[in-house]
Structure 1
């Protein structure tokens, strides 16, 4: 088997996007593999938005602290290999093949018991990540959930160093629940007995739900604006200054990631590392923290690129909560003027509410198709836009849509609505291998 065949197997034999409930398949697979997830300490992260940014910051700071850090993320932006990283280095193609060949015999035995027992795409790649980090002998792994928390494939982690719940909003509500309180219960399912929890949640009713679950698990919870805070000093693209106050106070920290929301994410990341430092009996040094934050990279999150001689900001805001955050960042960095927008969304997202919100800041929009099996009716998205904004076009191919928008632009344009669209546009601009 080569890398191409391995990817084809994962996407075709394990149908991509098919969700399977329950943890019994993962538990069985982990048992067959010798429970690799128990071989190293893990920081486990869930949340509606901010998971990836928090994971990236924590990883960057831990690397500066001298640790060998495994990072497991979902989804990837350009390459499948982004899902498995060691100290920011992507897994090699032959290592993907090796992992799959080791796991495949167990998969086939489970498949033989029937469809219900056949591990899903996400379950398989999560198992591959746990096994990979054991093979590479990492010091710490940072693991991001795929969906929810309680029944997510990653929730076979038994004793996390710390569990993180970044935010809670109405995303995947058809799967996780119809209210933020219901969704918070699903996400709080990653809380484990006696293990600390850090959260960026600020809404009182959701905090109470998380605290109730933490109390039943005898777990201490640290909340943003109650147990730790961040204070804005200056917003400047690539050099956003803020103060942090938690166990310690750190002043004039510089964060490379853009967006006003990233200050809260940074606060969550720092507090989690304060907790981890206490757990491991080590010291979090200010100069190390500063280097880690300033060196953090996370593609597709209010990221500024240049194409056809014009500036473009990519942001993977794909739900109403993320859209509100995007709008606030646009206003904080660029004022109240209207913007020109390339937009694409998946059918299973609340794109109608996102469009309604974005219409308050957009005066010209080009809608395009997102390259995903979950994008089946972009024409409907175009029609929704037309109810709010007069100057709207539909161009099916993202490359043609972007170039049309840039052709008549004098200033900055924005691309928002789906990480899949951001991925395609980013690959168009920067090149690189195909998005697998």
Structure 2
């Protein structure tokens, strides 16, 4: 990553100019990043800071452009194409000595290239997976690092235990940065605290028992919002003379939060689609519980259910989803796993 960016004229000193909020974890990374973006947007509308925000998340839902956002909006086709060919042509001369980046590596390089060109006031980065060896983990001086709920995922690369996975996630911690996380398995917290202390950091465990405005579709999103609120406030307090987040900022950030494909309910004609991008056993279980809690319409006949068999072997660990509909199909509901 560093060699590719150097080839594009972005050395480590230039990368240090980016003010980064780095987010890792198993469940809720994208939602947490989107909440951070929403909170900072509401704060900026009141104070003028941060004027320009970058948001990098993965994977995309419909188009690659969604992964690289500026002020909450995906790059336009023209801007994406311009940046893509700048990167592609810039790296073309070095294929023999340092190789060609793979898809996610290329998109990460593209994001750094764009955010440096655009001179964003904050760059919010979601890890692809892991943390220690993730391609996004090249920032030496992030402002805030945050770790969402940790569970089993990417076990072949990260290890088959919560402790191993927590070790990898904690790789985003950097000396001088704020280190945040939410309530975790005790063994995970122990590992996170140990890695934080090695860098002289005091790991902050976010209190998720307080009240938050808004009606959350799922308790998991509430936890993500708490973490995002603390991350946003920590960032603002380090850079903004106007002070931290206000109740108004928080209320507006939650009200205006949008993240398609995550605990999303869409009604099309007489069918209600419940959408969530569950991709591991932890996410699958949470999605199933969310679907079970959703108020169902008045059923016209007996409830029928059928189990989904996952094609992905990581998910085929006894986790079942259900598609529910009525015999007459007059008010059907569907659970769609993206």
The normalised TM-score by structure 2 is 0.87
Give 2:47's aligned residue: none
Q: 1:135 to 1:142 in 2, by over 3 A?
A: same
Does 1:331 pair with 2:292? yes
Whether the aligned pair in 1 keeps the contact of 2:27 and 2:149 (CA below 8 Å) is yes
Give runs of aligned pairs for residues 293-372 of structure 1, distance below 5 A.
293-334=254-295, 340=305, 343=308, 345-355=310-320, 358=321, 362=322
Aligned partner of residue 119 in structure 2, secondary structure? coil
Q: Indicate how the Cα distance of structure 1 residues 132 and 63 shifts in structure 2: closer, same or farther if over 3 A, else same.
A: same
Matching of residues 37-186 of structure 1 within 5 Å: 37-66=15-44, 67=50, 68-113=52-97, 117-186=99-168
Of 92-101 and 155-164, more deviation after overlay is shown by 92-101
SS in 1 for 2:317: helix
Other-structure match for 2:250:
289
Change (3 A) 1:45 1:121: same
> Which SS does the other structure have where 1:306 is aligned?
strand
Native 8 Å contact 2:23 2:148 kept in 1:
yes
Structure 1 unmatched ranges of 5 or more: 1-25, 232-242, 245-252, 366-404, 423-436
Q: Distance in 1 between matches of 2:27 and 2:73?
A: 24
Deviations for 1:2-48, whole angstroms, at most 9, x for unmatched residues? Answer: xxxxxxxxxxxxxxxxxxxxxxxx01112223235333211011111
User: Residues 329-348 of structure 1: CA distance to partner in whole angstroms, max 9, x if unpaired?
Assistant: 2333338x977568474525
For 1:155 and 1:274, locate their aligned partners in 2 and report how far apart those are by CA, in whole Å.
22
* Kept in 1: contact 2:144–2:234 (CA 8 A): yes
| TM-aligned CA distance change 1:185 to 1:338, over 3 Å | farther
Determine if contact 1:313/1:412 at 8 Å carries over to the other structure: no
1:102 Cα deviation from its structure 2 partner? 1.8
Matched residue, 2:205 = 223
Q: Distance in 1 between matches of 2:143 and 2:67?
A: 21
Q: Within 2, Cα distance between the matches of 1:280 and 1:352?
A: 45
- Residue 352 to residue 194, structure 1, CA distance change in 2 (3 Å): same
Cα gap change, 1:275 to 1:266, in 2 (>3 Å): same
Tell me if the contact between 1:165 and 1:201 (Cα under 8 Å) persists in the aligned partners: no
Deviations 1:57-95 (A, max 9, x none): 110110111122111110111111101111122111121
Tell me the CA shift for residue 168 of structure 1. 1.0
Q: Matched residue of 1:254: which SS?
A: coil
Residue 280 to residue 294, structure 1, CA distance change in 2 (3 Å) = same
Is residue 334 of structure 2 the alignment partner of residue 414 of structure 1?
A: yes
**CA apart distance, 1:223:** 1.2
With over 3 angstroms needed to count, the CA separation of the structure-2 counterparts of 1:410 and 1:272, relative to structure 1, is: same
Taking structure 1 as the reference length, the TM-score comes to: 0.69
1:426 aligns with none
Query: 1:386 — aligned with what?
Result: none
Gaps of 5+ in 2: 45-49, 297-301
User: What per-residue deviation string (whole Å, max 9, x for no partner) do you get for residues 172-200 of structure 1?
Assistant: 11111111110111111111112111112
Counterparts in 2 of 1:340 and 1:159: CA distance versus 1, 3 Å: farther
* 2:239 corresponds to: 280
The structure, 1 or 2, with the larger RCO (C-alpha pairs under 8 Å, 6+ apart) is: 2
Instruction: Pick closer, same or farther for the CA change 1:134–1:254 going to 2, 3 Å.
Output: same
How much has 1:412 moved relative to structure 2?
4.5
Per the alignment, do residues 305 and 410 of structure 1 end up closer, same or farther by CA in structure 2, a change over 3 Å counting? same
**1:204 and 1:76 mapped to 2: Cα distance?**
32
- TM-aligned CA deviation for residue 298 of structure 1: 0.5
